[in-house]
A and B are shown apart, each in its own frame.
Chain A
């Protein structure tokens, strides 16, 4: 049930949320720092929702391999997973679609046809039962009950008319499309206080996918069977064990790669004329470099977040060695080059097709390292990338941003960071000149932990980030978003717990400590019976809990107005709408607008001047608890 949240804001005075203040001239950038909206009460409502988490395509491949021994690459050719806040495992967004269901059927049948199924020398149904019980326990992360066994043997029967193998393969293919294989449940059992506590098998499954990207191994299932995952210590011991496995390492590498957007490296378009060296093989070498670097920091040296950002050790294969004019192997390219931001692949991914890009790199740092959300360029602004003129450096070309008032507000936050990375070209090579002009990497970065920081080059940026409380909190936030599959709420509280330890704990220890949080084992929500095989005695169906807490008249929605740009005869405002209530809300914002609106985006309005009522567009009208939407408008005075 959606509730209408009303927010009435009279003409606002002041700066962010502040119009008409002379100090605002030239505008402020309407940024939002994720997970930094002031104190959130994590003592209550800190638990994530009871949820189903569909396997990502990557997890599907890994799980199929673990279950059947068939090396699956089917998942990576499925419909792309949605990417929310850098990660592909967002529980809310991972849904079934008709195309995916078709692709899953094709894949399941192909896997079942190629897997090794032991031939049956006794009664076919007995063999099928043995296979089913063995595979089903792993596929569904729990023992099957008798009624499930009987149901699946029915599937076997409908294929066994052809032969044993056909029946068994049909049964396996069905299992691979079952929701019990495709979704991991975080539903739990309701305790006396109304909170849901995850079952032992759910905990085993959550540990397995979070720390090793695949279904639980035999050791985990055995512990769940014996109810030994019963303390924070026991959970952390398993997390640590999984982190040391090959799949654990690969999963953590992938977390860091996704955080940095490196998944795009293989396909990011590049100009073959400007960069003839950049073959698909070289892209692979860059990915390998990032993998080896991340493994080295996380696992070989048990490094910290700061090491991840500044370690100068890297790993070049022959191709990369040629690109950098360096020796192959474990090397240091320069004392001023290190960390994940200066990996060849990171620099190549965050650049234009035919050059470097201060903007791409500045945005990478602002959004992925400092968790600052930036608004899109306002409509009506000419967003032309500056033209290339011989003898003029990229940095000089982009100087226009700081001259143009409509662009300045946001680009003052972005471009200087990128300028510090101008010592690297569009495929990550070091350079001292650009387009014939000398490189200048000195910059002043504003709004960095609330201050302005002067840097000489990218290594200074990396070191500043390593010591920045905002960057540390952001890293904790990225990890907890990945681990929980939710981008707000519970993940914010986990991040708040982890953030103070980012500077001191090794990255591994930080990750493993996540399981100590009560939100790892508990969920809030309503309805449904206990997950797991049906209990021997029939449980009375639980009544559906009323939605809680009761709605407040305002729906808990707040709106903040900020000046995007302003000039003598008009300006543009951005409005951020945040649902801080506990219920989903359809918002409506009434604002006293100066002058007459000439253009608005991401909203509908009832009039162009005076007190204007804005309502959301189709995609942002309804806000889940904790969600935000932004809209804006330009006006003439």
Chain B
């Protein structure tokens, strides 16, 4: 088990003692003592258009006796077999097809009256864990918005009807988290004061406008007010933290830059966690029915078209599997970046204290159904036993959403999504 500390801290300490070996022992002893207390942050990554199970499933048996083949979708996880849980046999029991699957994936199709109130699990966690950080949640996207904002293109919900919009532009993400405030402490304080006076005036205008509108439009103004609250929290000084580098020139819409944008967003997401500005982050690659063309792999057809290749179409299946394997590589890149950076709150790496979930919106893409939707978990600070391949035999994925809440310390959660469909956590996961 490797244990990574901040390089700067390591070099400084080693330089000070001039005795490297004993120091390392101390370090290791410390890590061994640090009992896992569960993750303190969560990352959810999404990639679209279902899967082809026989190319996705590990070889071997469920339990700990499993592996991967180079032809398979999950092959890039072969080196990290012991750091992940492969979850098979989880189904969306009340949704079928692209659009419903996209909505159900993180919400379990909860209604306003349900305990989760229609929120997606990331927003639910943000609402419970988001205090005391600048961003209750950060949503990062890679080309999620060419079709506008809609049920197909969004996975995150603040309420039954309000979607959380991902930021598709790495430059904008950088600016929001690290940009903006320059100067000495007094200047920064004065700037924040000016911005606060600006926000106060906008709130005053909202109140004035509210007196004019009827009940139909009051929710719109309420949503605006709520949004300003988030802006106000973001006004605090930006992260004085070394992990992010400014983003170069990127066209967020250019198909061929899909990988470049994804890498930049992953780096920024991990840096934001390392700088402690948020505890809940999502990374959404494209969207359901998403059409990116994997030109960088020499693939000519769009991802959604390929996802519907039947077994007779061997070239199409091959291209789809290659594209899916590429997404696995991106998941691995995310894990690697999380492993490289230190936990800002204490010992361990970011990865060892972060629950990472890779979610999809459909099971077999050729059938448009949501049975055996693939999930992969990683990290988790000891919340789940890693290095396992589990098959839940058609259990509701809402149980996984409950288990995620439990892992994050919210043990009062008894159901997520529609409780008429499923309640309770996922047996056999912990």
Contacts and interface: CB of A to CB of B under 8 A. Distances in A.
Contact of A599 (B96, B198, B204, B228): B96
Interface stretch (A407-415, A498-506, A522-530): A522-530
Contact of A525 (B95, B216, B291): B216
A299 interface: no
B227 A100 contact: yes
A619 B368 contact: no
B367 A380 contact: yes
Contacts of A170: 194, 197-198
Contact of A384 (B172, B230, B310): B310
Contact of A528 (B148, B211, B312): B211
A380 B253 CA distance: 33
B215 A82 contact: no
A96 B220 contact: yes
Contacts of A526: 214-216
Given A101-B231, A155-B197, A617-B109, A380 B368 contact: yes
A174 B201 contact: yes
Interface string A30-50: 000000000000000000011
B369 A379 contact: yes
B301 A81 contact: no
A50 B255 contact: no
B324 interface: no
A496 B137 CA distance: 46
Contacts of A183: 209, 220
Contacts of A528: 211-214
Contacts of B148: 80-83, 88
Given A179-B205, A187-B212, A353-B302, A387 B227 contact: no
A628 B315 CA distance: 40
Interface string A174-191: 100111100101010000
A604 B93 CA distance: 10
A166 B421 CA distance: 57
A100 B206 CA distance: 16
Given A269-B255, A380-B367, A387-B316, A529 B212 contact: yes
A618 B202 contact: no
A380 B100 CA distance: 15
A378 B194 CA distance: 56
A161 B197 CA distance: 13
A601 B224 contact: no
Interface in A66-114: 77, 79-84, 88, 93, 95-103, 105-106
Contacts of A379: 96-97, 367-369
B149 A81 contact: yes
Interface stretch (B139-147, B277-285, B374-382): B139-147
Contacts of B153: 80
Given A82-B148, A353-B301, A617 B231 contact: no
Which of B99, B164, B195, B309 lies at the interface centre, i.e. has the most chain A CB atoms within 10 A of its CB?
Answer: B195
A199 to B, nearest CB: 11
A82 B172 contact: no
A256 B7 CA distance: 57
B223 interface: yes
A168 interface: no
Which of B214, B223, B254, B369 lies at the interface centre, i.e. has the most chain A CB atoms within 10 A of its CB?
Answer: B214
Which of A97, A272, A352 lies at the interface centre, i.e. has the most chain B CB atoms within 10 A of its CB?
Answer: A97
B111 interface: yes
Given A97-B162, A268-B291, A353-B291, A384 B309 contact: yes
A244 interface: no
Given A180-B205, A266-B253, A271 B212 contact: no
Interface stretch (B14-22, B62-70, B292-300, B340-348): B292-300
Contact of A267 (B146, B211, B308): B146
B254 to A, nearest CB: 8
A158 interface: yes
B252 to A, nearest CB: 8
B193 interface: yes
B156 to A, nearest CB: 11
Contact of A97 (B160, B164, B420): B164
A139 B193 CA distance: 24
A382 B197 contact: no
A194 B21 CA distance: 85
Nearest to B226: A98
Contacts of B96: 379, 599-602
Contacts of B312: 384, 387
A221 B402 CA distance: 56
B422 interface: no
A6 B384 CA distance: 46
A378 B223 CA distance: 36
Contacts of A353: 291, 293, 300-302, 305
Nearest to B204: A151
B270 to A, nearest CB: 20
B213 to A, nearest CB: 5
Contact of B231 (A102, A151, A352, A381): A102
A530 B211 CA distance: 9
Given A264-B146, A602-B100, A618 B165 contact: no
B128 interface: no
Nearest to A52: B217
A154 interface: yes
A270 interface: yes
A551 to B, nearest CB: 16
Given A269-B302, A601-B95, A380 B369 contact: yes
A80 B421 CA distance: 33
A274 interface: yes
Contact of A101 (B111, B147, B227): B227
Which of B143, B165, B167, B223 lies at the interface centre, i.e. has the most chain A CB atoms within 10 A of its CB?
Answer: B165
B337 interface: no
A527 B213 contact: yes
A96 B223 contact: yes
B201 A154 contact: yes
Given A271-B295, A354-B300, A544-B215, A158 B193 contact: yes
B137 to A, nearest CB: 9
Given A526-B216, A602-B100, A82 B149 contact: yes
Contact of B165 (A100, A376, A377): A100
Interface string B92-104: 0011111110010
Given A52-B220, A527-B213, A528-B213, A267 B107 contact: no
Contacts of B193: 158
Contacts of A185: 209, 212-213
A37 to B, nearest CB: 23
A433 interface: no
A99 to B, nearest CB: 5
Interface string B215-250: 111001101101110110010000000000000000
Contacts of B146: 80, 264, 267-268
Interface of A: 49-52, 54, 77, 79-84, 88, 93, 95-103, 105-106, 151-152, 154-155, 158-159, 161-162, 166, 170, 173-174, 177-180, 183, 185, 187, 264, 266-274, 280, 352-354, 376-385, 387, 525-531, 544-545, 599-602, 604, 617-619, 621
Ranked nearest first, the 6 interchain pairs of A and B with the lowest CB-CB distance are A83-B148, A271-B300, A80-B145, A527-B214, A98-B230, A101-B227
28 contacts: A51-B216, A52-B213, A80-B145, A81-B148, A83-B147, A99-B139, A102-B234, A105-B231, A151-B201, A154-B197, A154-B201, A155-B198, A170-B197, A177-B202, A179-B206, A185-B209, A187-B214, A264-B147, A267-B253, A267-B255, A274-B300, A352-B301, A382-B366, A384-B313, A526-B215, A527-B215, A530-B212, A602-B96
Given A82-B149, A102-B234, A103-B172, 19 more contacts: A79-B149, A99-B139, A99-B165, A154-B201, A162-B190, A166-B194, A185-B213, A267-B143, A353-B305, A354-B300, A380-B367, A384-B366, A387-B315, A387-B316, A528-B211, A529-B211, A531-B212, A600-B96, A618-B107
